[in-house]
Amino acid sequence: MYSLSEVARVHTTLGPTDVDHLQRLVANWGLLADLSFTDLLLFAATDAGSPRQYVVLAQVRPTTSQTLYRADLVGTLVSADERPLVDRCHRSGEATGADEVVQGEDVPHSVRAVPVRHGGRVIGVLISEGLPSGGRRHGELETAYLNAFGHLARMVAVGEFPFPGTEDPLKELPRVGDGVILLDADGRVQYSSPNAVSALHRLGVVIQVEGATFGQLGLDEGVVRTSIGQRRPATLELSRGTHTNVLVHAVPLLRRNAVVGVLLVLRDISDLRRLDRLLVSKDTHIREIHHRVKNNLQTISSLLRIQARRLSLPEAREAIEESVRRIGSIAVVHETLSREAGDDVPFSDIARPIIRMVEESLVSPERPVLFRLVGDTPTLPADVATPLALVLTELLQNTVDHAYRGPAAVTDGAEPGEVVVTVTGPVELDGRASVTVEVCDDGVGLPQGFSLDTSTGLGLSIVRTLVCNELEGSIVLTDRADGQPGTLVTVTVPVTRDVD
Ligand SMILES: Nc1ncnc2c1ncn2[C@@H]1O[C@H](COP(=O)(O)OP(=O)(O)OP(=O)(O)O)[C@@H](O)[C@H]1O
Ligand SMILES: [Mg+2]
């Protein structure tokens, strides 16, 4: 299916502002098709000179009546001879008066042509095509709808409809299904469709609406006042309790620049609002669950700590304390998720508490270590944040355990050690957004002949498994690149899922 702008570009010489005007018209014309009970076709002259030719830029079917066209006609070219009414309207700039009945393919059609004016020029022709009424008298609803259509068609012909504006030209007016109300120039209800009466009923209006203003009906008059006072469309949501929400679109009906009435199109958005509320409460539930998981992890940590205190073997105690820290780093992620809406966590929100945890529990008074967090502040999905929090805990734990301890480390009177955590990203790497975390210390450096593949420590095995298997990333441990003593650990992980 072609878009209006594509067809206009290929077949016509219409400029961008004309195309924008036609797009605004088409965004709103489902309503016009409903009000006129007809199919609408929008024609524009092609750039082929003679014989004159027209192209169908857009087509819409009514929801209030049967369609004459099962086929999609957008992009179809017709000659002036095939569509004499289009040609006549385009040349004269005049709407055809009463509906003309022409012999269609198999049944007679009632056709009406309306010039589409913009900036004083005719830039297209709107054709309204339906079954002829055959002398049948119109009912009240039909009369009111046709009346409103007549107003809007006249506004199209003089360039007053669609309204210019800064709003998105593709934002659509609703169809008539949920109700239509016609007001006179003073804002009094002239006609209300049965669906509109029901919608007002749901909003608590139980009195006769005809002849009353919105104010007299106990409804907010703002939307009516704006559309009459400022001669521009306006939208307002009316609600009653938490179960009825109706969006009211007000379209002023103009004649020679004066407001002669207002067309109100209602849209029942109660279901939409209910879903909104449901989503908000789901989000609250998910956060509550993260909060409980965090509490449970803290309880586990406390139990382990109690057990550690009863042990006399220092290694056993240390092993349990390490587990407590690992559990603590997972709790940090859940704590953050219990505060954030959605599934994403800012990296700094997990890095800072982890650094604090390591500072509090590990650093010895003989050799203080300062930690710094620098670089970008990426946001991570929860399933990346949890493993990465564990990885960071292990790497920071290692700096304190190994970089500033042991026979090679200077202790007494030395400057405090400095560990810098640098975050970079997200940057594109092999087609995936990736984040790099560097942990750089100024300690004793890696042991001679150290290799990650042959290292048997538990900490780095956890890191390797999480980074390489779970996060599909990479890890490198080296001496510092600037020739200073110390170790640099670089972890790079993709933060978006591989779509292939
Ligand atoms: N920042 C560092 N500076 C110097 N050596 C390090 C550093 N990080 C790791 N190492 C070396 O790598 C070895 C393996 O570390 P790993 O975390 O796997 O085990 P561990 O720390 O010895 O034990 P665990 O983490 O299970 O308590 C360490 O024993 C240490 O020799
Ligand atoms: Mg370790």
Q: Is the Cβ atom of 28 under 6 angstroms away from ligand 1? A: no
User: Residue 500 has what pLDDT?
Assistant: 42
Of 73-87, 221-235, 459-473, 485-499, the least confident = 485-499
Neighbours of 71 (CB within 10 A): 7
pLDDT at 130 over 60: yes
Residue in 323, 398, 437, 477 to alter for ligand 1 test, most ligand atoms within 8 A of Cβ: 398
3-state DSSP helix/strand/coil % of the chain, to nearest 5 = 40, 25, 35
User: Residue 61 has what pLDDT?
Assistant: 94
Torsion of Cα atoms, 438 then 326 then 400 then 320, to 10°: -160
Q: Is residue 181 helix, strand or coil?
A: strand
Confidence of residue 170 (pLDDT cuts 50, 70, 90): low
User: Residue 69 has what pLDDT?
Assistant: 87
Q: Is the Cβ atom of 399 under 6 angstroms away from ligand 1? A: yes
Confidence of residue 117 (pLDDT cuts 50, 70, 90): very high
- Higher-pLDDT residue of 416 and 10 is 10
Q: Which residues surround ligand 2, an ion (CB under 5 A)?
A: 398, 459
What's the pTM value of the predicted model, to 2 decimals? 0.62
Taking only the tens place, the pLDDT of each residue in 381-393 is 988 988 999 999 9
Domain ranges of the chain: 4-158, 176-268, 362-500
Long-range contacts of 74-82 (CB under 8 A, 24+ apart): 74/1, 74/2, 74/4, 74/7, 75/2, 75/7, 75/11, 77/11, 77/46, 77/53, 78/43, 78/53, 78/54, 79/51, 79/52, 79/53, 79/54, 80/51, 80/52, 80/53, 80/54, 81/51
Mean pLDDT along residues 92-96: 90
Mean pLDDT along residues 227-254: 90
Q: How much distance in Å is there from the Cα of 112 to the middle of ligand 1?
A: 84
Q: Is the Cβ atom of 23 under 6 angstroms away from ligand 1? A: no
Q: How much distance in Å is there from the Cα of 107 to the middle of ligand 2?
A: 86
Mean pLDDT along residues 315-342: 88
pLDDT at 403 over 80: yes
pLDDT at 180 over 60: yes
- Angle between helix axes 382-398 and 314-339 (nearest 10 degrees) is 150
- The CA distances from residue 247 to 174, 266, 454, in Å, are 10, 6, 67
CATH annotation of 176-268:
3.30.450.20
Taking only the tens place, the pLDDT of each residue in 34-48 is 999 999 999 999 987
Residue identifier of the C-alpha nearest atom 27 of ligand 1? 459
pLDDT at 1 over 60: no
Q: Is the Cβ atom of 487 under 6 angstroms away from ligand 1? A: yes
Overall CATH class of domain 362-500 = alpha beta
Share of the chain above pLDDT 90, in %: 53
Confidence of residue 166 (pLDDT cuts 50, 70, 90): low
Mean pLDDT along residues 152-164: 92
DSSP state of 381: E
In 119-241, the DSSP E strands lie at 121-130, 180-184, 189-192, 234-240
- Closest to 266 (Cα-Cα) out of 347, 201, 315: 201
User: Residue 168 has what pLDDT?
Assistant: 56
- Higher-pLDDT residue of 448 and 103 is 448
Identical topology for domains 4-158 and 362-500: no
Of 90-99, 248-257, 438-447, the least confident = 90-99
pLDDT at 258 over 70: yes
Q: Is the Cβ atom of 322 under 6 angstroms away from ligand 1? A: yes
Q: How much distance in Å is there from the Cα of 326 to the middle of ligand 2?
A: 11
pLDDT at 91 over 50: yes
- On the 0-12 / 13-18 / 19+ scale of CB atoms within 10 A, 149 is buried
- Higher-pLDDT residue of 99 and 417 is 417
Fold designation for 4-158: Beta-Lactamase (3.30.450)
User: Residue 484 has what pLDDT?
Assistant: 87
User: Residue 100 has what pLDDT?
Assistant: 64
- CA neighbours within 13 Å on the CB side: how many for 172? 10
Share of the chain above pLDDT 70, in %: 92
- Closest to 318 (Cα-Cα) out of 367, 370, 362: 362
pLDDT at 362 over 50: yes
